[in-house]
């Protein structure tokens, strides 16, 4: 069985990088960066991003070269795996950033109702106004004041010069008539 000189050379460079040999690191970069760039480019499909990913790959190689001997992989397989994982991590970060942008867009959307909601509300308001117009004028005013403006029953009884229980009866009967009218 013969040994592959390129494989042995790259293995030796990685082991020297694990010992923080800068010359070996430069030689490793020169020998493998084109192949690792191609790996990153295939995953990311963006030249500038692939170039950045390769830089990150070589930072990882510098920091983790001591793990190469433990894996038992061929040196190029190990380097390609590091590059592929780095590129995939960048893809995930890109997707998360896009998702975050979508979330922000949802948060800053206009809280006002859209045209459809306004049209439905306008139709419901017209129907309510028509039903209120069917009530006696004093009772319609009492309903509007109590339920649309928040006036108390006591204030309404005083304004219409009727006892409090009479005002409660007016309002209860008026609401029943409104319910019937709105269900038509």
Taking 80 as the threshold, does the pLDDT of residue 97 lie above it?
A: no
39 or 132, which is more confident: 39
Predicted TM-score of the model (pTM): 0.51
pLDDT > 70 fraction of the chain, expressed in percent and rounded: 87
- Classify 150 as helix, strand or coil: coil
Rounded to the nearest 10 degrees, what angle do helices 164-183 and 153-160 cross at?
A: 100
Answer whether 37's CB lies under 8 Å from 70's CB. no
49 pLDDT band, cuts 50/70/90, is very high
Q: Which of 20-29, 69-78, 99-108, 164-173 has the lowest mean pLDDT?
A: 99-108
Taking 80 as the threshold, does the pLDDT of residue 9 lie above it?
A: yes
CATH number for the region 116-183 comes to 1.10.10.10
Q: What is the mean pLDDT of the chain?
A: 85
Determine phi and psi for 112, rounding to 5 degrees: -70, 145
- The sign of the torsion formed by the CA atoms of 151, 155, 156, 157 equals positive
Q: Which of 1-10, 47-56, 91-100, 118-127 has the lowest mean pLDDT?
A: 1-10
Average pLDDT on 93-103 reads 71
Q: What pLDDT shows up at residue 1?
A: 41
State the CATH architecture for 5-107: Orthogonal Bundle (1.10)
Average pLDDT on 64-91 reads 86
120-166 tens-digit pLDDT? 778 888 888 888 888 888 888 888 888 878 888 888 899 899 999 99
Rg for the chain (alpha carbons), in Å? 38
Average pLDDT on 11-37 reads 94
Q: What pLDDT shows up at residue 140?
A: 87
C-alpha distances in Å from residue 56, one per residue of 22, 95, 117, 171: 16, 19, 50, 73
Contact partners, residue 15, CB within 8 Å, separation at least 6: 65, 68, 69
Alpha carbon distance 137, 152 (integer Å): 18
Taking 50 as the threshold, does the pLDDT of residue 11 lie above it?
A: yes
Domain ranges, ordered by start, for the chain: 5-107, 116-183
82 or 121, which is more confident: 82
């Amino acid at each position: 069985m013969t040994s592959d000189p390129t494989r042995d050379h790259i293995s030796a460079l990685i082991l020297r990088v694990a010992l923080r040999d800068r010359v070996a690191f430069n030689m490793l970069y020169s020998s493998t960066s084109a192949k690792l760039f191609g790996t990153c480019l295939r995953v990311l499909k963006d030249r500038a991003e692939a170039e950045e990913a390769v830089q990150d790959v070589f930072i990882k190689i510098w920091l983790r070269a001591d793990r190469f001997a433990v894996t038992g992989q061929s040196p190029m397989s190990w380097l390609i795996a590091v590059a592929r994982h780095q590129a995939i991590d960048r893809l995930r970060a890109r997707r998360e950033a896009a998702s975050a942008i979508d979330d922000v867009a949802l948060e800053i959307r206009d809280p006002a109702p859209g045209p459809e909601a306004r049209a439905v509300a306008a139709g419901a308001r017209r129907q309510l106004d028509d039903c209120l117009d069917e009530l006696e004028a004093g009772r319609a005013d009492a309903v509007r004041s109590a339920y649309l403006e928040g006036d108390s029953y006591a204030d309404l009884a005083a304004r219409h010069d009727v006892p409090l229980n009479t005002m409660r009866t007016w309002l209860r009967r008026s609401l029943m008539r409104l319910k019937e009218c709105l269900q038509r």
